[in-house]
Amino acid sequence: MAARTDLFQSPDYYQLDELFTEEQKLIRDTVRTYVKKEISPIIEDYAQRAAFPEQIVKQLGELGCFGPTVPQEYGGGGLDYISYGLMMQELERGDSGVRSTASVQGSLVMFPIYAYGSEEHKKKYLPKLASGEWLGCFGLTEPDHGSNPAGMVTSFKEAGDHIILNGAKMWISNAPFAQVAVVWAKDEQGDIRGVIVERGMEGFSTPTTHGKWSLRASATGELVFDNVKVPKQNILPGVKGMKGPLSCLSKARYGIAWGALGAAMDCYDTALRYSKERVQFDRAIGGFQLQQKKLAEMITEITKAQLLVWRLGVLMDKGAATPAQVSMAKRNSCEIATNIARDARQMLGGMGITGEYSVMRHMMNLESVITYEGTHDVHLLITGMDVTGLNAFK
């Protein structure tokens, strides 16, 4: 199917561009140009075929979308969190799967190696991951432990200068193509540790997950560990317990809060343009009250979400953002994006279910985004626990 020309114009109802620096706007516009040139023309075809566009890995590395907040000495961009957010917004405006590739690489693979790895780990892995020479993945979720990752059963035993790793992880973005995995597993004392596992280690396999109706242009798989012998020095020395994976998830959820907003912006922009072009009953459908109601509600929710993620970015840059604040923004962006995608799909009528427009693809992708890295309900309970001081999880 021939791709439509990408005519996206970013909604900015409250002149929020005034809140961004010139550098931040340049970074955003650079990624936007990349998406229009390299992602929009191909993404529908890859999604229809459920294929991963492998060429984007190098492209995203060259663009600086992998680990943009990691210091330059390790190959990262040394950028602020608002710049990172804007990058994720623009990538997901193209496709949630493309943004997922970058989120996992930066927040879930590079961040833990940078924050908790040894100097040797940082020098060995970070530059290759930043450039896109290597793709990484993050192993936390298991078949029987999704919202309760602390119950994981993947574990390792010590064997001299090595450990022997056993278990399985599920729903792992990038897994089929990854050269390296940051895996969370329990040691013999029951403490959760991060372990760097490399492709080629005997007993380590990454079966692809097939049959997805969502994130079809993203590679998803399992991580299977069958007596995998891993050098002891591959254990991340700087963290023990759930703090390790949860700190990674806070960074990734922050990126998702901006990313899902990008998908919402694309759906709104598509619906707005269509409403001015599509004529029924001798007039553009954008002139009818029910269509204007949908568009007015979309731009209102987008504007509120833009303010929320901008303020969260300011707090992230000050080191003052709490995980619960990140949860609120992740949940809100996902909620407004799923609602906007559905309303935009209705406005497009029958055309809305075709690949000629991006809306149905966003709608399906967002069903994953609203579920992964903390389900919608779990994020509500995180906020609830934060404001009441009472734990509803137990």
Answer yes or no: is pLDDT of 2 > 80.
no
Per the residue annotation, which of 44, 92, 335, 373 is the catalytic one?
373
> What's the average model confidence in pLDDT over 335-349?
98
Domain spans of the chain?
16-135, 137-240, 243-388
- The whole-angstrom separation of Cα 328 and Cα 330 is 6
pLDDT digits (tens, 9 = 90+) for 81-100: 999 999 999 999 999 999 99
CATH class of 243-388: mainly alpha
* pLDDT of res. 394: 81
Q: Comparing 16-135 with 243-388, is the CATH topology the same? A: no
Q: Is the dihedral of CA 348, 354, 359, 363 positive or negative?
A: positive
- Position 221 scores a pLDDT of 98
What's the pLDDT tens digit per position in 231-261?
999 999 999 999 999 999 999 999 999 999 9
Q: Which amino acid, one-letter code, is at 10?
A: S
CA quadruple 368, 369, 375, 377: dihedral sign: negative
In the prediction, which pLDDT does 357 show? 96
Q: What is the pTM of this model?
A: 0.97
pLDDT tops 90 at residue 78: yes
CATH fold of 137-240 reads: Butyryl-CoA Dehydrogenase, subunit A; domain 2 (2.40.110)
pLDDT in tens, 136-161: 999 999 999 999 999 999 999 999 99
d(CA 24, CA 48): 33
* 335 labelled catalytic: no
- Give the integer Cα–Cα distance in Å for 40 and 3: 7
Q: How many CB atoms lie within 10 A of CB 119?
A: 8
* First-residue to last-residue Cα distance in the chain: 50
DSSP string, 76-137: S----HHHHHHHHHHHHHH-HHHHHHHHIIIIIIIHHHHHHS-HHHHHHHHHHHHHTSS-EE
Q: How many CA atoms lie within 13 A of 134 on its CB side?
A: 19
CATH homologous superfamily of 16-135 equals Acyl-CoA dehydrogenase/oxidase, N-terminal domain (1.10.540.10)
**Per-residue pLDDT at 5:** 87
- Decide if pLDDT at 1 tops 60: no
| Other beta carbons within 10 Å of 171 | 18
